[in-house]
Structure 1
């Protein structure tokens, strides 16, 4: 039989580690024992490292047989870690009930619909884990921008889904388009040219269809080939939008997401920037930018390389010379 001690220590950034709790256990030859240590009572908020150390007996002068470390970020119940307008306690409760994804505390817009989670819960009454709460094929954020109801597939109650309604807030427009058209009588000029009123109507419809198809192809050719997914940062009620620089009509607006802002910054800086410059340009926190870039890097949207004490973020084909790319993953509690 041998006696061992297991101790749990914690260390915050820039501070010396200190012991939280120790437990002893007596273990016979060829047997095992389980020791439970509670590290939930953190002494302060912020990033910390937990150390688990195993020694033969109590005492500071005996060697450590084995050790483990865990990186964590300590938050408060009443705080708002992702700055989405919801408390950490509220989001943690949703995660435990499996109503929300496990990463909800790190993501201010879980469903990427252009609205942060606090706005969806407290202001609009939409579903933060569904980008299209009323299933009308329009993003909730897009509906808020256009003035339609994100909780109602037929905002004006005219029997036509908002996505198919030319004026979704005008009940008279959609109804008039469904009424049968009146018969058109051919004029003498039309009759003399051998075309009836119905034939002229068909010719007009075909012409409009060809023009519409040509406009659509022209438009597709001008669109950004890498549309981003919306992930707003702040807990404000405003929704970041951008107006297409090459749009030929007024009011043609799309939601510019966090990923979209990063890609735009890179393209405006010859496809390559320092990570610290992205933090400065966006005004976001370092941890927010780091998490966002990690997700984009996993999807292959961007690349990162370590140069000196910082990272270089670049698009395909803009790789800098000589670098390394270590990455660390932290857990959150």
Structure 2
């Protein structure tokens, strides 16, 4: 009896087996149906997003991740099927191209719905370093390895205290400064970012830290100051000195003539030549001591170079006739009289004139030749004067474009007017008034010489300078009306 209570009748056992088979079949049916739907469905996954915390964005496509710090990877999955259970895994690619799982999770997703998928990391494995491909993959159901959607992006995993590009700055410092984590020389000036910051205090984001026209590396090589645009303080940027003028950016007076390089450029003298007009006087001495023209070897055009007048004869290089005795300085030297003393012509002038008249053309042609100057804009002046053996002078030789004229007129016509006389003669010929620029053109004197000459003549009451717009009109004193300023505009 007891045994019969524990046995199952054969008909009952058969019934139980049939029911179990039906239940099993019913349970398997929806899985088969779901698999069919997922196979033909187009589920999708958006791109991976990285949290601001724990990451750095540089440029449009370069993202860095602090490997030892917490960060979040996320994406959004769009379900186009019926199944509601999915497994999502985050992977990182190793050096040999294999995928290593970082984390996995199972989530229910509504049919034809979407859901955000998020992975939080406190830190990444030690093997995750440098540039890596990161993927998030969705599979249907737990343990099923058939992917229905995936997304991949590239991140660079670094540590704050590391130096990813090897430029001498830690990664953390580069983020602080805004330099490129993947470039040794962010601004391309030839100096590594670390060298600029730690050694020279230059700007690693600017190839020319002082904006003087020279890259920082050029300045270090030349010895100029990469933080000062004008190392020698001469008024010219270092770059202009090196690239445009050929002057020394570490010497305010490159040719040591007494004028700074910027002064020379303003005066149009040669900052690489201490004697621009080759008259034997330094440019600085001509400007600051003698008031002569550093671009004219013979400032007063009397046939004697400025140096000869100053150092040999003690005559005035600004006046054709130093002693105002009617004979030009050069004539007196040829005659043997003192060009600084008008009394030395008394009792000798008649004889001298007679001798000159007697010798006439023969004397002048045999002992005197004239070189006509061809002036070019920005060029030096060339003038050659040949006198007797004691006064033979080569007063300039810097411009090759010279036309020599040896057929000088007779001595009687060679007596030059003084500079004052030439100006006054031109004014008389032009009814008493002439523009200053016209005087420069006619005389072929430099602008500086004309300006100095006219200022002196105005001080002596010989003429008047009238300002008309942006230039001067020169008038004889007795030809200057009170309304000149307005009438000549």
Q: Is the 8 A contact 1:134 1:151 kept in 2?
A: yes
Which residue of 155, 158, 161 maps to 2:237? 161
In the alignment, structure 1 residue 171 sits paired with structure 2 residue 252: yes
Separation in 1, partners of 2:118, 2:176:
24
Separation in 1, partners of 2:118, 2:367:
93
Q: Is the 8 A contact 1:88 1:105 kept in 2?
A: yes
Separation in 2, partners of 1:110, 1:206:
48
Separation in 2, partners of 1:190, 1:176:
41
Name the counterpart of 1:77: 160
Name the counterpart of 1:18: 100
CA shift for structure 1 position 52: 1.2
Closer, same or farther in 2 for the Cα pair 1:110/1:207, shift >3 Å? farther
SS at match of 2:116: coil
CA shift for structure 1 position 19: 2.1
The equivalences for 1:70-109 within 5 A come to: 70-94=153-177, 99-100=178-179, 104-109=180-185
Closer, same or farther in 2 for the Cα pair 1:52/1:109, shift >3 Å? same
Separation in 2, partners of 1:152, 1:7:
57
Name the counterpart of 1:280: none
CA shift for structure 1 position 17: 3.5
CA shift for structure 1 position 131: 0.9
Deviations 1:163-219 (A, max 9, x none): 2331111133384341554333244799732336989933566559xxxxxxxxxxx
Name the counterpart of 1:4: 86
CA shift for structure 1 position 156: 1.7
Deviations 1:49-81 (A, max 9, x none): 32311012222x342212233344432221212
Worse-superposed segment, 28-37 or 114-123: 28-37
The equivalences for 1:38-49 within 5 A come to: 38=120, 41-44=123-126, 45-49=129-133
In the alignment, structure 1 residue 30 sits paired with structure 2 residue 106: no
User: What is the number of equivalent residue pairs in this alignment?
Assistant: 200
Which residue of 198, 220, 229 maps to 1:144? 220
Name the counterpart of 2:142: 58
Separation in 2, partners of 1:191, 1:51:
98
Please list every run of 5 or more consecutive structure 2 residues that lacks an aligned counterpart in the other structure.
Answer: 1-82, 242-246, 268-282, 287-292, 305-329, 331-365, 383-396, 402-489
Q: Is the 8 A contact 1:8 1:39 kept in 2?
A: no
Closer, same or farther in 2 for the Cα pair 1:130/1:32, shift >3 Å? same
Separation in 2, partners of 1:15, 1:194:
86
Closer, same or farther in 2 for the Cα pair 1:21/1:202, shift >3 Å? same
Deviations 1:223-261 (A, max 9, x none): xxxxxxxxxxxxxxxxxxxxxxxxxxxxxxxxxxxxxxx
Give the structure with higher Rg (CA).
Answer: 2
Please list every run of 5 or more consecutive structure 1 residues that lacks an aligned counterpart in the other structure.
Answer: 209-333
In the alignment, structure 1 residue 128 sits paired with structure 2 residue 204: yes
Which residue of 202, 205, 209 maps to 2:381? 202
Q: Is the 8 A contact 1:153 1:161 kept in 2?
A: yes
Closer, same or farther in 2 for the Cα pair 1:128/1:207, shift >3 Å? farther
Q: Cα RMSD between the aligned structures?
A: 3.3
CA shift for structure 1 position 31: 2.2
Separation in 2, partners of 1:194, 1:49:
83
The equivalences for 1:182-331 within 5 A come to: 182=286, 183=293, 184-185=297-298, 186-187=303-304, 192-195=369-372, 201-203=380-382, 207=400
Q: Is the 8 A contact 1:190 1:197 kept in 2?
A: no
Closer, same or farther in 2 for the Cα pair 1:26/1:150, shift >3 Å? same
